[in-house]
Structure 1
Amino acid sequence: MTHRMKRFLNHSEAAYQAWLAVEQHVRSAGVPHATLELVKLRASQINGCAFCLDMHARDAREHGESEVRLWTLAGWREAPYYTPAERAALALTEAMTLLDAHGVPDEIWDEAAAHFEEAQLAALVVGIVQINTWNRVNVALRVPPMTKI
């Protein structure tokens, strides 16, 4: 695959800085770092974003994430390694990433709301939207792993 726009940041610096500010907001809202990385990885798996998969797997490992949890993330429903709160966040991630005309089912929303305070849940929603944004930019531009956009 050919990287389509190697100077994306030159043309979209303001948007990039705004996205980084959103990232900072999400990280400061009290959602556990491990949960956020799992959410980012799961959305990136669904969206096929090699750049984000590489980056967030590295970030997760650097913050102590176990290999087995990274290896089994695509099968999180069957794997015993995830907490109930992480499972709720992953279900919400999948529902929001694969959004259809019916939106997020009530049972998925209610389960997430049972595990996260309202401010955390709001940040989780923003974080899911944000990783989907990053995924779509990187996939559209065909950004290979370990490349600056």
Structure 2
Amino acid sequence: MKHLRYDPYRAAPEAMEAVFALNKYVEGCGLDRTLLELVKIRASQINGCAFCLHMHSRDARTHGESDARMLLLSAWRESPLYDARERAALAWTEALTLISETYAPDAVYEEARSHFNEAELVKLTVAIGLINALNRLAISFRNVHPA
């Protein structure tokens, strides 16, 4: 098991304050909190971020998300537990998280646009970018989730 390399919050508090200011915005941006947590979990699964998976699965439960939906999230395409808006958000999450492979395909974008207005899609995209940044911070500095 890897151990924390160093604490980025102590090393560069001003940088982390900026990240957390963006996080505060995302949490209050008006998008459904359970949808945001599903997006955070899915991106964290793709990135392999145990720290964020632990945190966001706990947060999702707090906001009423079921264990079944969280457990099946990596297979969301095969499960009837997700509605069309959630599917569009999850597809957009995967496309942006894997952007070097997908280049944000037009079909995925158009599907997202059919479920989110322009402002919502910008907010969702910012949320996806933020969780990817947080995954990279946690993985880079070896943040370890609590037991």
Counterpart secondary structure, 2:99: coil
1:25–1:123 contact (8 Å) kept in structure 2: no
> Hey, what does 2:136 align to over in structure 1?
136
Q: Structure 2 matches for 1:1-149, cutoff 5 A?
A: 1-100=1-100, 103-146=103-146
Q: RMSD across aligned C-alpha pairs, in angstroms?
A: 1.4
Q: Give the Å deviation of 1:4.
A: 3.5
The gaps in structure 1 that reach 5 residues or longer are none
Structure 1: 4+ residue segments shifted above 4 A: none
Partner amino acid for 1:97? T
Number of corresponding residues: 147
Tell me the distance in 2 between the aligned counterparts of 1:21 and 1:121.
Answer: 20
Counterpart secondary structure, 2:78: coil
Counterpart secondary structure, 1:86: helix
- With structure 2 as the length reference, what TM-score do the two structures score? 0.94
Greater CA deviation, 117-126 or 1-10?
Answer: 1-10
